Structure 1
Amino acid sequence: MATGTEGALGPVMAFALVGGLGVGAQWLAWRLRMPAIVLMLVAGLVVGPGLGLFDPARDIGALMAPIIAIAVAIILFEGGLTLNFHSLADAAPGVRRLVVLGAPLGWLFSALALHYVAGLGWPASAVFGGILIVTGPTVIAPLLRQARLSRRPAQLLQWEAIVNDPVGALAAVLAFEVVIVLESNLTLGAAALDMATGIAVALVLGLLSGWGLSAAFRRALVAEYMKVPVLFAVLLLTFALSDAVLHESGLLAVTVMGIFIANADLPSYAEIRRFKEHATILLVSGVFILLAASMDVDALKMLDWRALGFVLVAIFLARPATVLLSLAFSSVPWRERWLVALTGPRGVVLVAVAGLFGERLTALGLEDGARIGPLAFALVAATVVLHGFTMAPLARWLGLTGAETPGVIVVGGSSWATGFAEALKKAEVPVLIADPNRARLRSAREAGLPTFYGDILSEAAEHSVELVSYGTVVAATDNDAYNTLVATDLGPEFGREHVYQLKRAKQESRRHALPASLGGQPLGAGQSYFELNRLMTEGWRFRSTRLSDEFTRDQWREKNPEAVIFAVVGPNGTPRLVSSEDSPRAGAGSRLIALAPPGEAAQAAAG
């Protein structure tokens, strides 16, 4: 790869290229249903060491290291924002074991593999082994979205990844301090004092920052439009101050800060977290492209058969041994233990921290330090590709995913909702009816339909309902404002194209009408709650009709001119709800779920 200025892109073009490649890889992965992290890795390697078009050291220069450091800090902070203690539920004992027992066991087994398999000396093995505690929240999040795991194993993997990230960085710091003592005149007591001081400062700064922001936001001391900018400014200041006391302790400080805010019950927490998630998607893709493009051919040539042996031992021996021993004699079911044991992807935090300590060890005169960066990258690449393609099949084989067919949540327990849910269930589509009024769920329970008694937007629903099993939401209560609230709130999670609501009642005055930009797509032919339930009272019923080459949709329509189509279930069992604004295709093998009048209902059933 070129190292001079010839062919340099310049910082502006470099940032544009990184953004385009990162977001483009994520979009393409979504379209192809592939692991996004794999495509980002390939994109970075192609434009970097492959074609030599992009060299971060040449095109970005000295800004690269601080950019990656700040990006990793923001990623870990956003991860901390997801760690609400209420969400732990029955996964808490497993998470505690994976952190308290898993971290030292992982450090030990990784160091042994590095020394005896990869051939590193004990100093480099101890430092790098500490870093390998990190499992990678930057990779876990996309994998969990793709695999659609059940709640508890997803919580185990997510909490372990985020909490152990700063733990791994601090373990590497501890080992590095010991190496400095052995290689210099610094005393062990002085090194221990530096370490303890740095950790204490990180914890105090993280707690104070989280408490200060939470108090300021709750007391309205910060304008709503200023909350995210203030959050970013305090985050960067906390990270910088802690890192100035002890290198890499800033990661601990921002993680603690994020966890504190996540558990502070802030009114604007959802908006803050959503914005942070968007920023993290950009940062993860950008940092991964940068790190992949930074690998040079000479470094990759250092990977030999011993490196391959280390990668295999780390994935198939060290990781499973760490998890299985940590969770031994615990309440975690064996299937979840094996899923966690066989899932240990590494991400940008590992590569960034490993590269930093590799350079420091090399500066101390330890030649093994130069091998840490390539080994870290090899492990990241191997785990990203392996788990990217195997996690979902493994989870399905172990029975730890949501339903194969994405189901439908119907909010509201009316007679229309019960009839619609019964028709979906007969078409083998998972369905759930939610309502905070127990009496309204009576007919659904008598029909044998799954129900949730409570507000679908409540924290109880978040912890009790396996939302990962559902792909569509229908807001169908008698309250237009509440329907709009449900559709607007759940839109970002399910995708606005998968959130529907019944038609809003017409308002005589514009001052009482809700903005059209809020809410979900109008369902069916645009009838309101009261119109649909009136039809049910008049004898209209839902019917499911399978189409074929001999009985097409046009023929069905001729026999059922008044019937209203609400959903089309494809040949693969995937449902697609029908908006009043579209006309979905329905070929042979599809099922039409429609509301038909008494005269047409018999014809629909016969068809």
Structure 2
Amino acid sequence: MAATPADGGLDPVMAFALVGALGVGAQWVAWRLRMPAIVLMLVAGLLAGPVFGIFDPERDIGVLMGPMISIAVAIILFEGGLTLDFHSLRGAEQGVKRLVVVGAPLGWIGSALALHYVGGLSWESAAVFGGIMIVTGPTVIAPLLRQARLNRRPAQLMQWEAIVNDPIGALAAVLAFEVVVVTAAAGSLGHAAWEIIRGITIACAVGYGAGWGLSEAFRRAYVPEYMKVPVLFAVLLAAFAVTDYMLHESGLLTVTVMGIVMANANLPSYTELRRFKEHATILLVSGVFILLAANMDFETLGRLNWQAAALVAVVVLLVRPATVLLSLLGTNIPFKERLLVGLAGPRGVVLVAVAGLFGERLVANGVEDAAFLTPFAFALVAVTVVLNGFLLAPVARAMGLAGKGTPGVIIAGGSQFATSFAQALLSVKIPVLITDTNRARLRSARDAGLHVFYGDVLSEAAEHSVEIMSYGRIVAVSDNDAYNTLVATDLAPEFGRENVYQLGRLKSDSKRLVLPPGLGGQSFAGKLTYLEIASKMAKGWEVRVTLLTDEFTKSDWAAQNPEGIALALYKEGGAFTLLSADAEWEPDPDTELIWFGPGREDVAAK
């Protein structure tokens, strides 16, 4: 028999559907409006919950809400552990290690002090929440960095700090919570210490064993490819449930350790596992955010008074900058970069999710003021995301630490065409970088004074050496169709599929040699293949720039250049657009058209 709504509430199935629609819908609207998704999810949850009373999680979902949030937070923390690859950290700069080794403890202590003395919270609540406050939100940092287009070093500092401190902050909160709970339940200090050590040992042992065992099973092909993700989730939930049953709340530490172990196991299918899990995490994060926001009431929101505002101000303007500046003291990082990193500390959904879970658990263990953690977490996230979203780019530009103008283009594959296209882009002040694994193919670009990178754009070296955040689009134009498709497919999640282009592919009569049509990016340069472009370049074709005006329109250009192929549009002070082969375009007046066609001498000869 289907469940029926109680007290005029929603049916449980309808409630689950509403949570998904609000969470994912808010993220989609945020993407369309280029706004922080966290703020829209917060607004959606508050409107559906305390404002209009459409959705009340405790009424409509009931006893399922607690387990749902626990499992969701466990998977989110596992995903955080899965991002901590020590091999990648080895090449990181000294500043990143300082922000982790020195900054994490300093941030924990500073946040706890602020929570206690400014926010008036008990030491129990301050210690637990102070731990998770060191997390700066990797899911929030990435889009902010791409929007602000910071220079490489401050961008790397922020990005790696967020990635590495994500699981560390969760571990700090879990350990502090264990100390609070065990100390309150134990009869003596010695017994409490024993319980804490036992819990940490069991959680780490189970987490390490599950991570190592699963990695070996995947490596030895004991699990088929199509079952790897289901098996991963089954083992994850089992490890969480078993350790949580043996010792309450130790499951969160277990799954975090499990993620760290798998991240450093060098699995061949690691990228696929992480990407699928990232998609699942987006759904879970959306759901947890909506549930926690809708579950708040006006009495709880009323606690966000002047004291809460003072606490947010102290954390943002004092604790965070002081933590970064003290951590990076004595390094060769310029003061301006240190200050920028200190001022930029946006918190993300992990903070809200973990704070919501631990807040309820602390209240259940007799720590009454822990009820304040969830609304304060929402306030801190909203303030830091909005401030960084609006101020990071202009502040960075004012300090000379961000790129100016239009986001640039990465051209993967060196050739005469790549050099000609890059020169045309530079003529309208579009930053451009040409990459290739063959040094000889970069010779013409180097001779022309263009910015080049010798190496694979997909390599770890490129990740650490190239200011990726300065570029918003990528065009794969190498002589290898498979490589072009790989570049476009691999970088599409990072750049956005609408910003990834490649040359046309060679047609083959053999089905075994045809690449799947669903892979790759948008067709570029009129779907010409590399060989066709090379042939035209040998005949004197070049990439040219023409200003389209009211007097010289698109029709006039097309009439004079019937063979011309439109590549991009740029309007001074406006938008820059790469044109796919199938794009229908109609330029505004005073727009620069970048196009590929016969050289001026060839046209004059005709």
TM > 0.5 fold call: yes
Cα distance in 2 for residues equivalent to 1:42 and 1:54: 14
Cα distance in 2 for residues equivalent to 1:185 and 1:303: 34
* 1:152 and 2:161 are equivalent in the alignment: no
* 1:257 and 2:274 are equivalent in the alignment: no
Deviations 1:358-396 (A, max 9, x none): 445545555434444443443334334333433344444
| Cross-structure match for 2:85 | 84
Say which SS state the counterpart of residue 413 (structure 1) adopts: coil
Cα distance in 2 for residues equivalent to 1:485 and 1:126: 46
- The Cα RMSD (Å) is 2.7
Cα distance in 1 for residues equivalent to 2:246 and 2:399: 46
Q: Which amino acid aligns with 2:168?
A: N
| Cross-structure match for 2:190 | 189
C-alpha displacement of 1:219: 1.4
Asked if structure 2 preserves the Cα contact closer than 8 Å seen for 1:491 and 1:520, the reply is yes
Note closer, same or farther for the CA distance 1:91–1:396 as it changes in structure 2 (3 Å cut). Answer: farther
Q: Which amino acid aligns with 1:157?
A: E
C-alpha displacement of 1:500: 2.0
| Cross-structure match for 1:567 | 568
Note closer, same or farther for the CA distance 1:581–1:122 as it changes in structure 2 (3 Å cut). Answer: closer
Deviations 1:412-444 (A, max 9, x none): 222122111111121211112121111111111
Q: Identity over aligned residues, as a percent?
A: 62
* 1:554 and 2:592 are equivalent in the alignment: no
C-alpha displacement of 1:293: 0.7
C-alpha displacement of 1:225: 0.3
Say which SS state the counterpart of residue 118 (structure 1) adopts: coil
Asked if structure 2 preserves the Cα contact closer than 8 Å seen for 1:134 and 1:168, the reply is no
| Cross-structure match for 1:176 | 180
* 1:163 and 2:164 are equivalent in the alignment: no
Q: So what's the TM-score if we normalise by structure 2?
A: 0.91
Cα distance in 2 for residues equivalent to 1:362 and 1:456: 50
C-alpha displacement of 1:189: 1.1
Asked if structure 2 preserves the Cα contact closer than 8 Å seen for 1:29 and 1:35, the reply is yes
| Cross-structure match for 2:270 | 269
Cα distance in 1 for residues equivalent to 2:487 and 2:351: 39
Cα distance in 1 for residues equivalent to 2:25 and 2:265: 36
Note closer, same or farther for the CA distance 1:364–1:290 as it changes in structure 2 (3 Å cut). Answer: closer
Say which SS state the counterpart of residue 567 (structure 1) adopts: strand
Deviations 1:11-57 (A, max 9, x none): 21111111111111111111111111111111111111111111111
C-alpha displacement of 1:600: 7.0
Note closer, same or farther for the CA distance 1:590–1:84 as it changes in structure 2 (3 Å cut). Answer: farther
Q: Tell me, which stretches of 5 or more residues in structure 1 are unaligned?
A: none
Cα distance in 2 for residues equivalent to 1:138 and 1:69: 20
Deviations 1:297-328 (A, max 9, x none): 12122333222222222222222222222222
Asked if structure 1 preserves the Cα contact closer than 8 Å seen for 2:74 and 2:255, the reply is yes
* 1:440 and 2:441 are equivalent in the alignment: yes
C-alpha displacement of 1:562: 2.3
Note closer, same or farther for the CA distance 1:398–1:58 as it changes in structure 2 (3 Å cut). Answer: farther
Say which SS state the counterpart of residue 410 (structure 2) adopts: strand
Range that drifts further, 548-557 or 92-101: 92-101
1:389-408 map, 5 Å: 389-401=390-402, 404-408=405-409
Asked if structure 2 preserves the Cα contact closer than 8 Å seen for 1:239 and 1:251, the reply is yes
Q: Which amino acid aligns with 2:11?
A: G
Note closer, same or farther for the CA distance 1:363–1:236 as it changes in structure 2 (3 Å cut). Answer: closer
Say which SS state the counterpart of residue 222 (structure 1) adopts: coil
| Cross-structure match for 1:324 | 325
| Cross-structure match for 1:489 | 490
Cα distance in 2 for residues equivalent to 1:61 and 1:386: 36
| Cross-structure match for 2:502 | 501
Q: Which amino acid aligns with 1:75?
A: I
Cα distance in 2 for residues equivalent to 1:551 and 1:485: 40
Cα distance in 2 for residues equivalent to 1:209 and 1:45: 39
Asked if structure 1 preserves the Cα contact closer than 8 Å seen for 2:136 and 2:348, the reply is yes
Say which SS state the counterpart of residue 304 (structure 2) adopts: coil
Deviations 1:508-535 (A, max 9, x none): 3444333322322222223221221121
1:207-226 map, 5 Å: 207-226=208-227
Aligned residues: 598
C-alpha displacement of 1:162: 0.9
